[in-house]
Amino acid sequence: MLIAALVSTVLAVSAPMQKGSFGNWSVGPADGACILATSFGEDGDFAIFHDAKKGTVMVLVADPVFRSIVDRRSYPLTINLFRGNTRDPEWGSVTGHGVVNDGHRGFAFRADAAFLDSLVKASRLQFTRGTTSVADITLDKDIEPAIAYLQRCARIRAGLPGGPAD
């Protein structure tokens, strides 16, 4: 529960934008950026840190089944976004980097903030290594308002248009 502990700490911080909950998704401010987080499977955690000023997201996926992940090692991953049963050809390979913290293991990668727009249109997100699925996350109707809140939160934290005065 690497991300769960991180998320509870980060979302406890008071900021102009308060924590929001959308079904299984939590959103809130995080050290100059904002975070969107949920759980998947039995003990997996998924989070996206969005920095509107840089126009990037950092995606973090952790699960106890990732026993072989080594901290900072590079892992070739494929991002599969589905709309129903149809795979979105827009996304493909990324290099994930191993993350190990207090015995919890996962991988992280950076992407353009356009990744968020693709998530809104998708019904499922899957990460694979070779032909093996390493994470499969259902994206329900709550993902759209959760991402909208994340984007607004990140703009506020970055001091960009879209904040409370807009």
d(CA 91, CA 137): 16
**Contact call for residues 92 and 77 (beta carbons, < 8 A):** no
From 2.60.40.1880, 1.10.240.10, 1.10.150.450, 1.20.1260.10, which CATH number describes the 2-158 domain? 2.60.40.1880
> Comparing C-alpha atoms, which of 79, 41, 78, 44 is closest to residue 61?
44
The per-residue pLDDT for 17 is 58
Q: How many helices (H) and strands (E) does the chain have?
A: 3, 11
The structural domains of the chain, with segments of one domain joined by +, span 2-158
- Report residues of the chain scoring pLDDT below 50: 1-16, 164-166
Whole-prediction pTM value?
0.84
Max CA pair span of the chain: 48
The per-residue pLDDT for 163 is 52
